[in-house]
Amino acid sequence: MPTSEQLKQPKILIPEIKLQNRVSELAQEISMDYRGREVVAICILKGAFIFFSDVIRQIDVPMTCEFLGVSSYGNKMVSSGEVKVTLDINEPLEGKHVIVFDDIVDTGLTLSYILNSLKARKPASIKSCCLMVKPDSLKTEVEVDYTGFKIGSEFVVGYGIDFAGQFRGLPYIGYIEHGH
Ligand code: IMP
Ligand code: MG
């Protein structure tokens, strides 16, 4: 159960303007790299939904969008390493240029699982774009091709990212103290 301390207004880690600027830079970089190709943009639900909506609106190449639901945390603040698919993609990815958009790479176990399972569908290429990476928490080697921000090991919320289901609507990235 979250403590009342943890449900207080989170402190700001990345303000809205910084988020928006970085999202635009990522979109520009992706638009340049994929010029002349058609992309399948995959949003990892739920955490990436706001990041995804912002970034794809600025990517200037032909694109279709897919949504992959995974759940790895439940209401806990540490990764279990177990990944459950809650919503699968029905469209074939074979021969397609796939970019996976995720919110956070913490241990890396979730993204690594996702990339491996999507590779089995034989895309022509697959890259990943993550809003935040916690380099000190990585437990597995996982390739992040486009990184928004490298952050410490703080527990972050907002801009689509939750703690116990809360805080997804904050326009900034905030952090809350770890419970003991
Ligand atoms: P990983 O498998 O440890 O890399 O965990 C990745 C997933 O855990 C992310 O996609 C998030 O859904 C969740 N997660 C990791 N760190 C945080 C955090 O600081 N706040 C909220 N969710 C997090
Ligand atoms: Mg996630």
- Neighbouring C-alpha atoms within 13 Å toward the C-beta of 165: 4
Write out pLDDT tens, residues 23-54. Answer: 999 999 999 999 999 999 999 999 999 999 99
**H or E element: which one contains 128?**
strand 125-133
For residues 142-169, average pLDDT? 96
Give the distance (Å) from ligand 1 centre to CA of residue 10. 17
Bridge partners, 40 (sequence order) = 64, 98
Residue among 54, 102, 103, 106 flagged as catalytic? 106
Q: Which ligand is nearest to the CA of 135?
A: 1
Q: Is 102 a catalytic residue?
A: no
Chain center to CA of 167: 16
pLDDT band at residue 4 under the 50/70/90 scheme? confident
* Per-domain residue ranges of the chain: 15-154
Q: Mutation test of ligand 1: which of 72, 101, 116, 154 has the most ligand atoms closer than 8 Å to its C-beta?
A: 72
Q: What is the pLDDT of residue 75?
A: 55
Give the distance (Å) from ligand 2 centre to CA of residue 75. 12
Write the secondary structure of 23-52 as one string of H (helix), E (strand) and C (coil).
Answer: HHHHHHHHHHHCCCCCEEEEEEECCCHHHH
Question: Looking at the domain covering 15-154, what would its CATH class be?
Answer: alpha beta
What is the value of pTM for the model shown?
0.93
